[in-house]
Amino acid sequence: MYMSALRHDNRKGSGTALFSDSLPPLSSHDGGTVPGGTTGSDGIVKTNLRKGQRTALVASIVTLMLAGVKTLVGYGFDSPLLVADGFHTLSDFTVIFASWFGLFLAAREKTDRFPYGLYKAETLISFVIGLFITWAGIDVFLEGVKKFGPPASTGSFPLLPIIVSFVSAIIAFFLARREGSVGKAINSQSLKAIAQDSYLNIAVSFAVLAGIVAAYVSVPYVEGVLLVIISLLIAKLGLETIWLSLLILLDANLDRPLQSEIAREIKNIQGVTGIRDVKIRQAGPFRLVECKIESGPHVPLYQAHGVADRVEDYIKKTFPYIESVYVHIEPRKSETPLAVIPVKDINGLGSKVHGHFGRAPYFIVVRLGEDTVEIEDFYYNEHLGNKGNIHVGVKVIRELIKYGIDVLFTSQIGEISFYMLKDAFVDIYKAREDEPVSEVIERFRRGDIETLNAPTHPAETSQAGRMTGAKDNGP
């Protein structure tokens, strides 16, 4: 409950007070870095993509070196299992290198031919990575089937192949952690996919290690069973990566919680009276947002552009990974607008319109249904006793704006109050002094009422009236 200068009149209504004098500031941010997002420029976007490229490039080099070491040691120590694992690691290198190439393309500058950038190149590469991972799973499965049965003993203890397999698992662990953390930080689908593949490679390395030991001690089936289980996990990861990439390339709605959160947040921005639709599509590590919002039906073009700019800036500064925002504004078609009318007395819909907005002793608040009129309350203007010290209309307007009105009917309104209301997207109509409220509403529904597109008198008139003590036209 807020204390108000527009006090509720005890003779009518529920006793609900209006709001305080000062308007709350629009929620905003200091323009600092939002993790993974943008700050009105491409700087953070490019930084994230370069970070992903570096991670993928380092992982590619390390993976290629591991593949070479495994293959050479496997051939040197007559370990077919380690040789097969070396070729499997070489296929991992192509996957990681493909991720680097996709991030490299995504970081290219926008052009006339590609005005939205090449962010989806990263998603396309993720699709290819999914194919490679799936094929690797099939390959490991076939290798596991071959290993069923009693293995042949290698004779001497395979110390170096065991060390290579163990070190490979350790390196795969650190690579997976780095790929996963960077992929999550910059929302890179390809890096997150290869991180999952690297974690599975740890299991593959230990399976190879167990197979080498099992072959040395002639224990059957261990190597084959482990490889078959791991192959199924690898194939599952590959198919999931393929499916997700296809959904993104087809612009599927994959982030309903973010969609709902954006709609909920921008509804509180000044000038936004309703949300028609919010669409989100993913492009590589980023998201592109389209909003269809509502504003007042008589909002000037420059104000509509201002609302669109505020919505765009708010979304890009508040939500991570959003690279661009398109805002379309349509006039609001409220089924039950809230209207306020300054009146001289309290007599329901028979109350008479006061001649001056800021000097009215009472305000009637009505909800206009399609065929009904509901009186929500009458309010008493306590500012009248202080008219020598304050600008009455300004105080009244500040509170009416917070009340959430859509329409004002008034006989006269000054310059300052008029533009304050217009800035708050309130439609203003010309009522006649002493006209009953019911007649004002009836003329509004017939379309037989004048829209006020300018104040009825300048601010100097109101100021002069207050200084001389003459009859005040009100602000």
Q: What is the pLDDT along the chain (475 residues), one digit of tens a residue?
A: 223 344 444 444 433 333 333 323 333 333 333 333 334 445 666 777 788 888 888 888 888 898 888 888 877 877 766 777 777 777 777 778 777 877 787 777 778 888 877 878 878 887 887 888 788 788 878 877 877 766 655 567 778 888 888 888 888 888 888 888 888 877 777 788 778 878 877 877 787 777 777 777 777 777 677 777 777 877 887 888 889 888 888 888 888 888 888 888 888 887 787 788 898 888 777 788 988 887 766 666 777 788 888 888 888 888 867 878 888 887 766 667 888 999 998 888 999 999 888 788 888 888 888 788 888 888 888 777 665 545 666 777 777 776 677 888 998 888 888 888 877 778 889 999 999 999 998 998 888 888 888 888 775 555 545 444 434 444 4
SS3 string, 273-336, reads CEEEEEEEEEECCEEEEEEEEEECCCCCHHHHHHHHHHHHHHHHHHCCCEEEEEEEEEECCCCC
pLDDT in the model for residue 41 = 43
pLDDT in the model for residue 464 = 46
pLDDT in the model for residue 23 = 29
Q: Tens of pLDDT along 400-420? A: 776 677 888 998 888 888 888
Domains within the chain, CATH numbers bracketed: 6-25+335-468 (3.30.420.130), 43-249 (1.20.1510.10), 257-331 (3.30.70.1350)
Q: Where does 77-119 have alpha helices with state H?
A: 80-106
DSSP-assigned beta bridge partners for residue 268: none
Give me the residue label for tokens 């039950």.
Answer: 336
Q: Give the span between the Cα atoms of 437 and 457, in whole angstroms.
A: 23
Query: How many residues does the structure list for the chain?
Result: 475
pLDDT in the model for residue 80 = 67
Q: Beta 407-410 vs 427-430: how paired, if at all?
A: parallel
Single-letter code of the amino acid located at 451:
T
Question: CA dist 357 to 8, 414, 423, 427, 455, Å?
Answer: 17, 8, 17, 14, 11
Q: Which helix (H) or strand (E) holds 225?
A: helix 222-249
